[in-house]
Structure formats: structure tokens, C-alpha cells
Amino acid sequence: MGRIDTGRSAAAPTAVVTGGNRGIGYAVAARLLAHGHDVVLVARDRERGEVARASLAAPGTGTVRLVVGDLSTVPAARATAEALRGTCPRIDVLVHNAGLWPSVREVDEDGLERSFVVNHLAPFVLNHVLEPLLTAARARVVQVSAGLYLRGQADPERTPRGLDFHPVRTYADTKLCNLLLVPRFAERWKDAGVTVNAVHPGVIRTGLGDRRGPVGLLIKAAKLLWKSPATGARPVARLALSEEVAGVTGRYFHLEREQPLAPVATDAALARRLWDQAMELTGLAPSPPPAAPPRSAAGRLSP
């Protein structure tokens, strides 16, 4: 678990973008840089991550750094979170963009289905491990979601291990698991000034869901009609930057419009069960919600 550090501007806010080396994540990183943020890309592949870092770096913009980290197993996600803690003195924006849409069931050494880890447990781990940094900065957390959550079925007995695996619905199932916990994080962080919101960025032309063979060719052809990653980045960056949504938390947005969650994503008992299960599966120790960071006598946050 390594990192490439090229220095940073002490005054600039810091944004972390998972899956930031391509697609929507790369485009979000570019927008954040253009708005004066230093950006930390999280990418699994060092070479591709470094290519993205070098491509984004430009005179007159913020610093771009790379943390090489895998989010497909719980131990790797925890190691990635620790690498970020060692890299970032504070985090003002955390964008959970990394996602996985598998075509076949794959389980890790712990017997957990990989997209369940990447789409659900990894953001859970990062939110908890990075919580002190988020609290100190009164950060904005943005979860890139999917409108397909509507077709999801979160089964705590079967979904974690892919016992209900389906090449289409599992993506919806795991995104639903993640979305069910967004209001719970909002409640946890309400007094600490940290906001968290989820957004469906639209049907975007990225590598997500690519397949091999004839089906893959059909998908590739269909994607020619889909919108660009730059278009998909706009509603994500808006939640990270816009004053219009400052203080808004626990909400779901379809593009730039807030939408009420469908009943499938508002089951409080199921959300509580998934939260407790995630704590157990990740080995995290329960802790009380964070308090608001101290303020100086002038009313501003203490450094």
C-alpha cells in the first residue's frame, strides 16, 4: 500500500476521490481541481493512477496526489483508509466513486462477494476510519449511487456472500445496501457538521459493467449513445462544491434534483441490521457519534 506525494498547498481544501483514475472519478477530480481543491486520487493500479495524476496536474491548479489502494476486500479497504490518514492532514471532500458491476460471482478469502465489498463495505470502512479528519474539516461526503437501487433486494443473509448473485441485480442489491446507510451516517454526523448525500449521475459512458463476448459488444455499442463522464461529474461535483446544498445531508439526488428515496431504501429496521452487520464484517469497534470540532474565540474552527 503505497502513495505518491508531490506536495500540497497548505491553504487549499483537500478532496479524496476513490476510483479517481478514470471515468466519472477522473472528471470529478478535474472539476475539484478547477475549483481550487488539492485532490487525492485513490486507484488500485499504480501505473494507471500515476498516468491519471500526471494528466490532471497542471500549472495554476491544486496539487494532485495518488494513494494506491484496493477496495475489493475488507483488509485492503482498511489499509487504504490508513494510507489516506497518513497522507491527508484533513479531508474537506470525500467522494465515494469506486464501484463494481460484476458479471460472475467472485468471493474473497473471507467468503464475501466482491461487489458487496466495493460498493457497500469499503465506503463504510472509509467513513469510519477517516471520521476524525472529516469531522475536523466539517467535510462533505458524496456517495455516487445508481438509480438501479430501485430494483435491488438487500438480503443480509444472502447478499454479502453472493448467494443471491445475479449479473444484473447484484449491482442493484449492493448499491441499495450502501444507500440504506446514507441517512444513518447523516444522523451520526449531524452534530459534527459533516454532510453526506448520494447522487445518481445518470447513464454514463464508463467502463462500469463492461462484458466480454457478444453481450459485451452490444453493451459497447449502446454506450456510444450514453453521456460522457464529464457530464456525469457535474451533479457529483455540485454536491461537493455548491453553496446551494451546504448543510443538506442524508438526501438522494437524481442528477441535480433531490428525490425522495423509494420505500425499498427507507426500511429503518433493515438499515439498522445492515449497519450492525457491516460493523461485524469490517471488524470496526462501535464508537459514539463525533462531537462538533472546537471553535476559536473568533468563532472559527480551530486549526
Catalytic residues: 171
Among 152, 263, 243, 245, CA closest to 198:
245
CA distance 168 to 215: 13
CA distance 91 to 32: 13
Read off the DSSP letter of residue 206. S
Question: What is the distance of C-alpha 235 from the center of its chain?
Answer: 14
CA distance 89 to 133: 7
Helix, coil or strand: residue 294: coil
Count the Cβ atoms, other than its own, within 10 Å of residue 217: 11
Q: Where are the beta strands (DSSP E) in the chain?
A: 3-4, 14-18, 38-43, 64-68, 93-96, 140-144, 195-200, 252-254, 257-259
Angle at 193 (CA atoms; ends 236, 121), nearest 5 degrees: 55
Cell match 448543510: residue?
247
Read off the DSSP letter of residue 7. -
Read off the DSSP letter of residue 121. I
Are 274 and 156 in contact by the 8 Å Cβ rule? The answer is: yes
Handedness of CA 56, 136, 184, 123 (dihedral sign): positive
Grid coordinates belonging to 195: 454532510
120 phi and psi, to 5 degrees?
A: -125, -55
